[in-house]
Structures are given as C-alpha cells and as structure tokens.
Amino acid sequence: MADTHTVASDVAFTDTVKAIQARKGSRPAYARMEAGGSWASVITAELQAEIEAQTSVFLATANADGQPYIQHRGGPAGFLRVLDAHTIGFADYVGNRQYITQGNLQDNAKAHLFLIDYAQQRRIKLWGTARVVEGDEALLRQLMPPGYRARPEQVVLFTVSAWDVNCPQHIPQRFEAAQVQAAIQSRDDRIAALEAELARCRRSPEERPPLP
C-alpha cells in the first residue's frame, strides 16, 4: 500500500481516527495543529537530552497478524543513544531469549517508543520503524553503557518518523530511589550541621571550638 501520509501526525491520525475526532468534536483543533506544522519528525537537542536521560522505556511492536507486544528496556542513563537527527540506538541485552520483538520486527518494521518521566510528569511518544542489527561488534561496543553488568547480544536501531509530547494529566509523580536517597542524605547532612552548631552555641564562650 502506498504511503498516504501528508503530515507527521498522520502516522497516528488515520482516516478512521479523524472520523472519530470529527464525531466527538476534536477534529477542528487537530486540523489547526496539522495546518500549523503537525508533530515534529526530527530529534531536537532538547528531545535528545530527554531520551538520553531515560533509565526505563517501553518498545511496542506488532507481528504480521497485527498482534501488539510491549517490551520494557532499561539501563543506566545514556543506554538510549541518539545517533543522528532521526535515529536512536541501544544495546539489546541477553534476556529470556523469547525474541518476540525481534520476530515482530522481522515481519513488521513499524514500532513505537514510549518514554515517561514520572518526576517531571511528562511523557513522550515516538513513532517509527526499528530493526535489529546482529554481528556489528563496533556498534555494540559504542552503545554498551560502560561498566554496566549486562551481556549485550545485538543492537536495536529505531528510526523516528514522528514524535509528540503528552500533557501531564493523570501521571502520578514518582521519584527514582537514587533521587530520594540523595535528597534524604542532603537533609541528614544539614540536620547534623545544625545540631553541631546548636551544641557549639550552648557551650560557654571559653568552651566553644573555633568555627571551621
């Protein structure tokens, strides 16, 4: 079937979707959005920073019959790497060896990346295509996070065709354990410093140690 997309958001706004939007009253607003340039299709510097800050993402694929599948991928910040204005890559680690995502992509290259930042209550949707690269040791080394305890098997390259940012509505605010631990440690250090200062002030002038 020929590609009939005229704007980037057509990757999601099919004729059926547009008909539902028209029936429910939202089509005029989205038509204005489309006329104003639609969704972005190029990875900006701001988006790159957000992508490479992720530690947890979801990759959606579908098989030849259209059966969808969502797989979680995680790693240290930077495990997702922007390679150029349209391409995201990551090392695919050895897991349960089901290879559902790889099989789906072999039959149907269309894919979706879903990024969610609970702390900032922000989610980013990326449409595109993906492929698995096997046997490219140089690329695998380039994308493998230094010092990360995982066994890389292959590479996944995601080509972005469109992306959009959702509103923060209904996203629960959560924080990474490392962020919480750092905040608690900073609080505890401040309390210890204040307690030490209070103890110093309670001593007579002759007993007080000099200020650091």
Report DSSP letters for 4-30, one per residue.
Answer: ---SGGGGT--HHHHHHHHHHT-HHHH
Give the domain extent around 130: 40-166
Shared domain for 4 and 27, answered yes or no, is yes
Q: How many domains does the chain have?
A: 3
Q: Give the per-residue pLDDT at 207.
A: 65
Mean pLDDT to the nearest integer, 31-46: 93
138-169 residue pLDDT tens:
999 999 999 999 999 999 999 999 999 987 77
53-69 residue pLDDT tens:
999 999 999 999 999 99
E strands present in 47-86: 56-62, 68-74, 81-84
pLDDT band of residue 86 (cuts 50, 70, 90) is very high
pLDDT band of residue 211 (cuts 50, 70, 90) is low
Higher pLDDT, 2 or 133: 133
Higher pLDDT, 119 or 32: 32
Instruction: Indicate whether 120 pLDDT > 90.
Output: no
Name every residue whose Cβ is closer than 8 Å to that of residue 150 and which is 6 or more positions away in sequence. Answer: 75, 91, 93, 94
Cα separation, 169 vs 203, in Å, equals 54
Mean pLDDT to the nearest integer, 11-21: 96
Name every residue whose Cβ is closer than 8 Å to that of residue 128 and which is 6 or more positions away in sequence. Answer: 110, 111, 112, 113, 158, 159, 160, 161, 162
Shared domain for 75 and 16, answered yes or no, is no
Task: DSSP letter for 196, please.
Answer: H
Shared domain for 94 and 143, answered yes or no, is yes
Q: Give the per-residue pLDDT at 1.
A: 42
Q: Give the per-residue pLDDT at 152.
A: 94
Question: pLDDT exceeding 70 applies to what percent of the chain?
Answer: 94
Higher pLDDT, 8 or 201: 8
Shared domain for 206 and 122, answered yes or no, is no
Shared domain for 59 and 21, answered yes or no, is no
Q: Give the per-residue pLDDT at 147.
A: 93
Q: Give the per-residue pLDDT at 43.
A: 97
Shared domain for 44 and 109, answered yes or no, is yes
Shared domain for 4 and 109, answered yes or no, is no
pLDDT band of residue 208 (cuts 50, 70, 90) is low
Cα separation, 100 vs 102, in Å, equals 5
Shared domain for 146 and 127, answered yes or no, is yes
Residues in the chain: 212
pTM above 0.85, yes or no: no
